[in-house]
Amino acid sequence: MKILAVCKGAAERLPGKSYKTGIFKHAVSGGVMIDAEGLVGDAICNRKHHGGVDQAVYLEGSLSLDWWANELGYPVEPGTFGENLVIEGLDNRDVTVGDRFIIGELIFEVTSCRIPCATFAARMNDPTFVKRYTKAARPGIYCRVIANGIVEAGMQVEHKSFPGAPVTMPEMMETFGRRLSAADRERYLAAPVHYKLRAVLEAQQ
């Protein structure tokens, strides 16, 4: 596996909207520093729902983007979904919470899946896109940064699977906002899930 694209964005206004968003990402050349808060210089406008230490980096697998290109009927350029990194040969459905991606000195740990929102639908110019993305069950991947470093396109990626019971990205999307069974809650809490989800699950115990 290798990095196909590194993407950053500036704060831009969506057509017909009053707020600015950092969802418009574009592939950049050269090395980009990544620290605990994500890619240095990348715009994050709505920090209530985006960014933060457990959503520092957003990944998309090239196989998932290829699937979307076929589904949409046009090429999906790097950054279209607001992702920071595109990883060659990766299918989002094969990723679980706690998986690690090692890229040079960088180490990412998967915390949660991408949940589509109205801003994403507006970015795709499709009011049905939230439902469409949910039905596709190929959500993007959020990670925390375990070790800082510099990333650039072409770097090799090592994918290390979480050794515990898996919580996959499609399962996280399917169970979003739902009350889990006791067994599933235990399994989720045994994985390094996003701190906000962990707080919700612990409150249900």
Strands 26-27 and 32-35: unpaired
Q: How far is CA 200 from CA 53, 101, 115, 193, in A?
A: 17, 26, 16, 11
What would the DSSP string read from start to end of 8-44? E---EEPTT-SSEES---EE--S-EEEETTEETT---
* Rounded Cα gap, residues 143 and 141, in angstroms: 7
The domains of the chain, with CATH numbers, are 3-177 (2.40.33.20)
Q: What is the pLDDT of residue 42?
A: 82
pLDDT at 102 over 60: yes
pLDDT digits (tens, 9 = 90+) for 167-183: 999 999 999 988 899 99
Q: Which is more confident, 57 or 22? A: 57
Confidence of residue 14 (pLDDT cuts 50, 70, 90): confident
pLDDT at 17 over 80: no
Lookup: tokens for 66: 């290829």
Confidence of residue 125 (pLDDT cuts 50, 70, 90): confident
Q: What is the pLDDT of residue 48?
A: 62
* Rounded Cα gap, residues 175 and 53, in angstroms: 22
pLDDT at 16 over 80: no
CB contact set of 24 (below 8 Å; sequence gap of 6+): 9, 10, 12, 79, 82, 123
